[in-house]
Structure 1
Amino acid sequence: MEDGLCSNGNVSESSGNDQSHRVIDIYPLSCYYFGSKEAAPFKDETLADRVQRMKSNYAAHGLRTSVEAVILVELFKHPHVLLLQVRNSIFKLPGGRLRPGESDIDGLRRKLSKKLSANGSGDETAWQVGECLGMWWRPDFETLLYPYLPPNVKRPKECTKLFLVRLPVSQKFIVPKTLKLLAVPLCQIHENHKTYGPIISGVPQLLSKFSFNIIES
């Protein structure tokens, strides 16, 4: 797979123009079980430390690719997206950095199992990873991510890809104690850059091509 390609491999959601793939079935939040598990402590690093770590990884492996999941549930008749909250302040979509040579889909499934499954192996969870919704680029180590790659940037440092992940009617979410898994309404995150950052606040626009089919329990 070439760097930067928003590839789904053999995932059926992205094939053809079947309009059924433009409908997302959303189940009530009450259909899901939420628990906690032990977790390794966070890396306590400054921004300068993080930049230095990114530079070292780039020198060793090249472009850093991250994959993140957009997972929807229903609450109060409104679509909510599942977000991880770090230290009661930072919000993230579930996911993380790919290993060298790892595919987008395999890497996202591994990260989701690590963050959201009981034992981290994902054996009890068949993550249904759908189409790639969009890509964000970091032109340089110190700059923010942008929803496009500037034509003058020939060697971007990071690419973050967002994938739609469809949930079954019931599932267990077991989250490390150092994180909180929250259901946040789309209307709350829409263009709310200050609280949720540019990627999360742009999710409602990425979902605008879909229709939501809210299934009552």
Structure 2
Amino acid sequence: MTTTANWTKNTTNYKYNASNVLNLTVNRTINLYPLSNYTFGTKDPLFEKDPSVEARFQRLRDEFEKIGQRRSVEGVLLVHEHNLPHVLLLQLGTAFFKLPGGELNPGEDEIDGLKRHLTETLGRHDNVSHDWDIEDTIGNWWRPNFEPPQYPYVPPHITKPKEHKRLFLVQLPEKAYFAVPKNYKLVAAPLFELYDNSQGYGPIISSLPQALSRFNFIYMESCNTNNNNNNNTENQNSSNNTNNTNNKS
């Protein structure tokens, strides 16, 4: 017997297209660039909407009564150190970590909303545009009640989840400048630190190693390495030219 739950009037129905599955899942290659390729600065603090956990869930309750299920998005930004993927996380205080992202406005497209949040959180403060490359969905999480717990599935007794959070992989360019709000730190956490560490990072972030294991990562060289190689080549060519000139003399 199959049952269909009517979660909420604002839930989007997605159509399954079998013809696209192979292209999306087989040999997905993602380029990862060294952390040293990126430049980090600071900008004005970015504060949470709610002063406390209680206020956050009260606002969620109020919004649910008016517009239904909340939709939120988060971006997974990857770099590598010593050929090991690292996830860029925002650190607030000493023990709170989160992915960049946030709530969507009513009717807002998920990709557009994620780009907006990434720009607000890590974009330059001089209004220089940043074209974020959103690659693929890597996870879906639901909040059944007006409480902290979230799950990668909808519990069978829940007909109206209070929040749906979608995680996207973001392909970073070879080089970029990130402006980090002054009240946050941007840290690069290795996958082995996140794996099975829900106590330190929560269930969503600690599940990223499993979610990312389906991708084929290509570890690109540092820009500095390429520049050094180019300089060495130029120096070698210059030396050869000098030797040729001396021989002719």
TM over 0.5: yes
For structure 2, which runs of at least 5 residues remain unmatched after alignment?
A: 1-8, 223-249
Alignment CA distance shift 1:99-1:140 (3 Å)? same
Q: Which residue of 2 aligns with 1:95?
A: 101
Q: 1:3 is matched with which residue: 11, 31, 34?
A: 11
Q: Which residue of 2 aligns with 1:139?
A: 144
Match of 1:38 among 30, 36, 44: 44
Residue 178 of structure 2 is matched in structure 1 by 173
Sort the Cα spacing of 1:148 and 1:41 in 2 relative to 1 into closer, same or farther, 3 A.
closer
Where in structure 2 are the equivalents of 1:113-192 lying within 5 Å? 113-119=119-125, 123-192=128-197
Secondary structure in 2 matching 1:57: helix
Q: Which runs of 5+ in 1 are unaligned?
A: 8-14
Using a 3 Å threshold, how does the CA distance of structure 1 residues 174 and 5 change in structure 2: closer, same or farther?
A: farther
Q: CA deviation at 1:171?
A: 0.6
CA distance in 1, matches of 2:76, 2:196: 16
**Matched position secondary structure for 1:52:** helix
Runs of 4+ with deviation above 3 angstroms: 4-7, 18-21, 40-44
Contact 1:6/1:161, CA 8 A, preserved across alignment: no
Q: Provide the residue aligned with 1:60 in structure 2.
A: 66
Deviations 1:63-119 (A, max 9, x none): 111100111101122110000011232100111110111011000000000000013
Greater C-alpha radius of gyration: 2
Q: Which amino acid aligns with 1:171?
A: A
- The structural deviation recorded for 1:20 is 7.5
Aligned counterparts of 1:43 and 1:63: Cα–Cα separation in 2: 18
The one-character-per-residue Cα deviations of 1:127-178 (angstroms, maximum 9, x if unpaired) are: 0001111100011102500010122211100111100100110011001101
Change (3 A) 1:204 1:62: same
In structure 1, give the amino acid aligned to 2:28: R
> RMSD over aligned Cα, in angstroms?
2.3
Secondary structure of 1:65's partner?
strand
Write 1 or 2 for the structure with the bigger share of strand: 1
Q: Confirm or deny: 8 A CA contact 1:6 1:132 kept in the other structure.
A: no
1:188 partner SS: helix
TM-score (norm 2): 0.78
Larger CA deviation: 141-150 vs 94-103: 141-150
Contact 2:90 2:185 in 1 (8 A): yes
Q: What percentage of aligned pairs have identical amino acids?
A: 44
In the alignment, is residue 49 of structure 1 matched against residue 90 of structure 2?
no
TM-score normalized with structure 1 length: 0.89
Q: CA deviation at 1:211?
A: 1.3
The aligned amino acid for 1:174 is: A
